[in-house]
C-alpha cells in the first residue's frame, strides 16, 4: 500500500514534468520561432491585418502621388509603368515589391518613430475609437515627372537610367524600361514574369549587369593621372588598330587618330590609346583604381529603415592575358556595371571626388501631415583627390565642347559628359551608354543612361540624357 502511494506520487511528478515541458516549449517557440514564421506568405493574418489599415501614400519630392489607396480601398498608381519599378506593386496575391515592399512597415504605420507626443496621442485615439487605422505616408526623393519623361523618352527601346543629386545623393529618377504596370499586376503577372527579354520585374538600373564600354575610360584616365609620371606630356600614335597575338583591337570605324595625348584621346574616345595605357598600368593598378570608384564593393540605397542592395560594378577576372587587360581598360571583357554604379562614378568626378550615399526616402509623414522623420544625407566615400577629379571634369567638358558628345551641347546649360559603346553579344547592336553631369562648373545632377542595343556612338542615350537635364533645369 505504501509503495503504491509512492508510485502515485511519482506519476504526479511525471505529469507535472509533462505539462511544464509544454509551457517551456511554448516559451521557446515564442522567443525563437514565432518571429521567423510570423510574416510567412501563407499566413493569412498578414493580409487580414493589412485590410484593417489604410495604407499610406507614396509621394514624389514635389508632392505628386506615386501610389495611393482610393476610397474603395484599391491601390492606384497614376504613373503606371513609368514609376512601376520604383513604387513596386502591392498585391494580395503576389505580395509586394519595390518601395511598397521595402517600406511596408512604414506604409502600414508599424514603424515606431514617435518623435512627437501628439502623434502618439493621436494614434492612441485611433487605436481606441476606430478599427481602421492609418499607415504613414512616404515622400520619395524621386521627381515623378522627370522619371515619367525619361521613361517615355526610351520609346520602344529597353534600358535603364539613373539621375542623382550630386551634392546630397538623392535619387531623382531611377528608370528601368520596360517596367510592369502595378495597376494591372493581378491580371498581367504571368505575362510579366514570363517576359525574359524585357524583364519588367528587374530594376535594370541597379540589379542588372552591362559592360560599361568607353564610359569606363573615366576610371582608366584617373588611374593614368594618379599612377603615370608626367602623364600630361604623354603622347601616343594611334593608327586605328592594335595587334595582339591572335586578336586585333580596332578603333570605332577604324579611325586613325594619329599623334594624340591623353586629354584628346579621352575627348575622341580613342581605344588604341586607352588600351596602351591600360597595358602600361596593368591589371592590379586598374583593379585598385576601379575599387576606389566603388567597384567590387557592397553598395546599397540606404536610410535608417531599409537597405536596398545595388549590384555593384565588377572589375575582377581570371583571364589576364594582354588582350583581356587591354580591352578591360576600355570597359569590355569581364567588366560589368549598371547605370547606378556609373552614376555614382560620375558623381565622384562632378563632386570633387566625394560620393554621397544614394537614398530614396526623403521623409515620412503621418496621416495628419506631421513630419515624423527626414533622411539626412551622408558621405559614402572619398573616391578621388580634388586635382584628379578636376582634370577629368575638364576632359568631360572637352568631350562635350569638341568631342564625341558634342551633340548634347546647348546654349542653356553647360554639360560635362562621356559617351560609351559597349559590345555585348556577337551579331547584336552594341549597347549605347551616356554619363553626364550639369551644370559643368557647379554640378547639381549626374545622369547615367544605357539603351540596350542602342547602337554605336551613344546617340539614343545622349538624347535621353539631354532631355533629362534640360527638363530638370527648366522646371
Footprint of other proteins (CB under 8 A): 3-5, 7-9, 11-12, 15-16, 18-19, 21-23, 25-27, 29-30, 33-35, 37-38, 40, 42-45, 48-49, 131
146 neighbors 53 (Cβ within 8 angstroms): no
Q: In the complex, what is the shortest distance from the CB of residue 187 to other proteins, in angstroms, rounded to a whole number?
A: 23
Q: In the complex, what is the shortest distance from the CB of residue 105 to other proteins, in angstroms, rounded to a whole number?
A: 16
The Cα–Cα gap between 78 and 171 comes to 20
404 neighbors 254 (Cβ within 8 angstroms): no
Nearest Cα neighbor of 59 from 370, 473, 364 is 364
| Closer residue to other proteins, CB minimum distance, 41 or 245 | 41
Which residue is listed with cell 535621353? 464
| Closer residue to other proteins, CB minimum distance, 14 or 368 | 14
- If one counts every other C-beta atom within 10 angstroms of the C-beta of residue 354, the result is 18
429 neighbors 400 (Cβ within 8 angstroms): no
| Closer residue to other proteins, CB minimum distance, 2 or 318 | 2
Which grid coordinates are listed for 206?
541597379
| Closer residue to other proteins, CB minimum distance, 35 or 298 | 35
| Closer residue to other proteins, CB minimum distance, 49 or 115 | 49
Q: In the complex, what is the shortest distance from the CB of residue 96 to other proteins, in angstroms, rounded to a whole number?
A: 19
The Cα–Cα gap between 339 and 173 comes to 11
- If one counts every other C-beta atom within 10 angstroms of the C-beta of residue 29, the result is 11
| Closer residue to other proteins, CB minimum distance, 16 or 371 | 16
| Closer residue to other proteins, CB minimum distance, 33 or 118 | 33
The Cα–Cα gap between 175 and 310 comes to 14
Q: State the virtual CA torsion across 153, 97, 452, 146 in degrees, nearest 10.
A: 20
Q: In the complex, what is the shortest distance from the CB of residue 127 to other proteins, in angstroms, rounded to a whole number?
A: 11
Q: In the complex, what is the shortest distance from the CB of residue 130 to other proteins, in angstroms, rounded to a whole number?
A: 11
Q: In the complex, what is the shortest distance from the CB of residue 11 to other proteins, in angstroms, rounded to a whole number?
A: 6
Which regions of 282-390 does DSSP assign to beta strands (E)? 299-302, 307-310, 354-356, 361-365, 371-374, 379-382
Spell out the alpha helix ranges (H) of 171-259: 185-194, 217-227
Q: In the complex, what is the shortest distance from the CB of residue 16 to other proteins, in angstroms, rounded to a whole number?
A: 6
Amino acid at each position: 500500500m505504501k509503495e503504491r502511494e509512492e508510485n502515485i506520487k511519482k506519476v504526479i511528478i511525471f505529469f507535472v514534468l509533462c505539462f511544464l515541458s509544454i509551457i517551456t516549449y511554448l516559451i521557446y517557440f515564442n522567443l525563437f520561432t514565432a518571429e521567423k514564421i510570423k510574416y510567412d506568405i501563407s499566413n493569412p493574418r498578414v493580409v487580414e491585418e493589412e485590410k484593417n489599415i489604410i495604407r499610406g501614400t507614396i509621394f514624389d519630392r514635389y508632392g505628386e502621388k506615386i501610389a495611393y489607396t482610393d476610397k474603395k480601398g484599391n491601390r492606384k498608381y497614376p504613373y503606371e509603368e513609368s514609376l512601376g519599378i520604383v513604387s513596386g506593386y502591392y498585391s494580395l496575391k503576389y505580395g509586394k515589391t519595390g518601395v511598397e515592399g521595402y517600406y511596408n512597415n512604414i506604409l502600414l504605420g508599424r514603424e515606431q518613430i514617435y518623435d512627437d507626443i501628439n502623434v502618439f496621442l493621436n494614434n492612441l485615439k485611433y487605436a481606441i475609437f476606430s478599427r481602421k487605422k492609418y499607415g504613414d505616408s512616404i515622400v520619395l526623393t524621386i521627381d515623378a515627372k522627370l522619371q515619367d519623361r525619361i521613361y517615355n523618352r526610351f520609346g520602344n527601346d529597353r534600358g535603364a537610367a539613373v539621375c542623382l543629386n550630386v551634392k546630397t545623393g538623392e535619387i531623382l529618377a531611377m528608370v528601368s524600361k520596360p517596367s510592369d504596370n502595378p495597376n494591372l499586376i493581378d491580371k498581367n503577372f504571368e505575362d510579366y514574369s514570363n517576359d525574359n527579354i524585357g524583364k519588367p520585374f528587374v530594376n535594370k538600373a541597379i540589379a542588372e549587369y552591362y559592360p560599361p564600354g568607353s564610359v569606363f575610360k573615366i576610371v582608366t584616365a584617373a588611374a593614368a593621372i594618379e599612377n603615370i609620371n608626367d602623364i600630361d606630356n604623354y603622347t601616343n600614335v594611334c593608327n586605328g588598330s592594335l595587334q595582339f597575338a591572335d586578336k586585333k583591337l580596332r578603333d570605332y570605324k577604324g579611325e586613325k587618330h594619329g599623334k594624340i595625348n591623353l586629354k584628346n584621346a579621352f575627348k575622341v574616345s580613342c581605344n588604341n590609346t586607352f588600351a596602351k595605357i591600360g597595358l602600361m598600368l596593368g591589371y592590379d593598378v586598374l583593379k585598385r583604381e576601379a575599387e576606389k570608384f566603388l567597384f567590387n564593393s557592397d553598395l546599397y540605397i540606404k536610410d535608417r529603415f531599409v537597405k536596398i542592395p545595388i549590384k555593384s560594378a565588377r572589375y575582377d577576372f581570371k583571364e589576364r592575358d594582354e588582350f583581356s587587360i587591354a580591352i578591360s581598360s576600355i570597359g569590355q571583357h569581364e567588366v560589368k556595371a549598371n547605370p547606378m554604379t556609373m552614376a555614382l562614378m560620375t558623381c565622384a568626378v562632378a563632386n570633387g571626388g566625394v560620393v554621397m550615399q544614394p537614398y530614396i526616402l526623403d521623409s515620412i509623414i503621418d496621416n495628419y501631415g506631421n513630419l515624423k522623420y527626414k533622411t539626412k544625407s551622408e558621405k559614402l566615400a572619398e573616391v578621388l583627390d580634388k586635382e584628379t577629379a578636376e582634370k577629368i571634369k575638364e576632359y568631360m567638358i572637352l568631350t562635350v565642347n569638341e568631342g564625341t558628345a558634342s551633340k548634347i551641347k546647348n546654349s542653356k546649360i553647360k554639360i560635362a559628359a562621356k559617351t560609351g559603346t559597349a559590345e555585348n553579344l556577337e551579331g547584336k547592336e552594341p549597347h549605347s551608354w551616356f554619363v553626364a553631369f550639369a551644370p559643368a562648373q557647379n554640378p547639381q545632377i549626374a545622369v547615367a543612361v544605357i539603351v540596350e542595343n542602342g547602337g554605336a556612338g551613344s546617340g539614343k542615350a545622349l538624347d535621353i540624357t539631354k532631355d533629362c537635364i534640360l527638363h530638370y533645369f527648366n522646371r
